[in-house]
Structure formats: structure tokens, C-alpha cells
Structure 1
């Protein structure tokens, strides 16, 4: 320990830390805990004695402090590693989802094109059927106009004669 004369009433923080076998930063943080202020990087002797008594009771405080700081740093580094791994997993999943999205867009385009073609074919088929029905109706109407029925007498009986009769298949009826 450094000799301190009675005329010298202050001790430097560096000398105190060396005498205690502690780091200067640890001694400074202890001063803050004890609410002791520094003046010109030195302490009053009474304050130095209070610091020595406080630290003398706890020889392993610095080791515990360093151990807890090291544990916090290790925990932080582990979390950083976990976050980095999670970030890489998310990036890969995002890339896979982007590829899946592109594939689904292509498939949707193909299905939309197919749907449009089928809709056009259905429209064409419907138009063809409408045309056929219209032609059938015209044919039936003409047949009805040309069809004539007359009553003639044959061998003393009345017989109904049909000229240009309407074909039953045009009326969607079967002959019975």
C-alpha cells in the first residue's frame, strides 16, 4: 500500500485501485454506489477508508461483477446468433414463398386463358344452338303456312286430306 503522510489528506483514485487490487473502473463504480464524489481524481482520506471498508467486506465483488457481465455478454451473443439464424431462415422462406408466388401467378394466367377459351367456346356453341332453333322455328312456321287440310267425300264418307303436313319431328313430338 502507498504511504500517506498526515500532511497529505487526499489519495488518488489510481493509487487506491492499485492498493485494493481492483480495476480503476470498478472503484469508480463503487464510488458511485457509495455516493462519494471525486475531486481532481482523488479522495479525502475518510472517503478512501469508507471505500476500503466497503470493498474489504466483499473480496469477490469484482469477480462476481465481471462474471455477471460476461454472462450477460454471452447471453447477448447467443441471442445475436439466434437472431442471425432466424433471419437467415426467414430470408430463405421468403425466397421460397416468392418462387411459389411466381409459380402460382403463372398457373393462374394459364387457367385464366383456358377459362377464357372455354367461355368463348360456350358462347359460340350457344350462338350455334340459338341459330339452329331459329331455323327450326322458321321451318315449322313455313310448314304450318303451307299445310292445308280439306274435307273430301270418298265412297260416301268424309275424309280429311292434308296437303304439305307439318312433320312431327319439327314439333319435337313423336308420332303416336
Structure 2
């Protein structure tokens, strides 16, 4: 049984999502005692406060999976210089009703990969104040803004050497962050 389960939220529904590929490659970089589990957000209806008294099963499942986790990693794409609607929807579902947020206190990490030169920097800068409001201590450094290049991923889906080296440094910092902040 792992000491720490880390929920991974991929903010893209695209089948060939670069952020899903990054999320799929992350578990190989974590030490023993950590288990990464991607949580599903593609089946959540649009958040509607009228449903707070009787939330859909998919929202209850999301909240349960977040509550069971020691921490959360967000792999976010950048849509129009911000986070995706599906990611915002998941954040809203798991934070409601007011006073019953599953996110509170969970140590967060943010990563992102994009074909754009800024590598999701704007999306991550929009996500950080949301996570702050949700009371999630969020790892500040190093920041992960990866631009997709020919050597970002290997043919088997693993991270290319330079990306793997950089991400290993981030993972090491995030592991320390979780150990310091997880309740």
C-alpha cells in the first residue's frame, strides 16, 4: 500500500493530449511509496449550484478521489491564454457546496506542456490564484513550462532525456512538498 496517493488531474479531453502524455510518464519518476492516479473529469456535467444538494455521482466520485489523495498534480493545457473549461468545471465541482471543498489543504503541483513557446505559462498563472483560494499550498519552484519539441517524448511515450532530467528535479521537489504538507 502506498504511503502517498497523488491525484493527477489532466485538464484536456483530447485523445492525443500532450499533457496526458506527460501525466502518463510521471509515475516512473516518483520514488517508492508514491502512487499516481489520474482522476476522471470528462464525465462531469457543467457545474450548476442548483445541484449542490444532490450532486451527480461523477462529482461525488471526483471529491472522494481527491479526499483520498495526499496531494494533487494538475497537468494543464493552455486554452486562449488560460485554463481549459473542463479543468475549471472540475475545480468548481470538487469545491462545492461552499464549506465542503475536497481540495482544501492538498499540496498541489502544476505542470504543463504545449506546442506554444510559452509552454502553458499563462494558464498556470491563472490556475495559481484559484488554487490559493481553494487553500491548496502550491509548489512555486521550479515552474514547468514545457514546449513540445522532437525530443520531448520518446517513441514509447516516455520522456526524452532532457525533459526527464528536468522533470526528475521537479518531482524531487514535489515529493518533499507533499511530505511537508500532507496531513
Q: Would the TM-score normalized by the shorter structure come out above 0.5?
A: no
Structure (1 or 2) with the larger CA radius of gyration: 1
Higher relative contact order (CA 8 A, sep 6+): 2
**Which structure dedicates a bigger proportion of its chain to helix?**
1
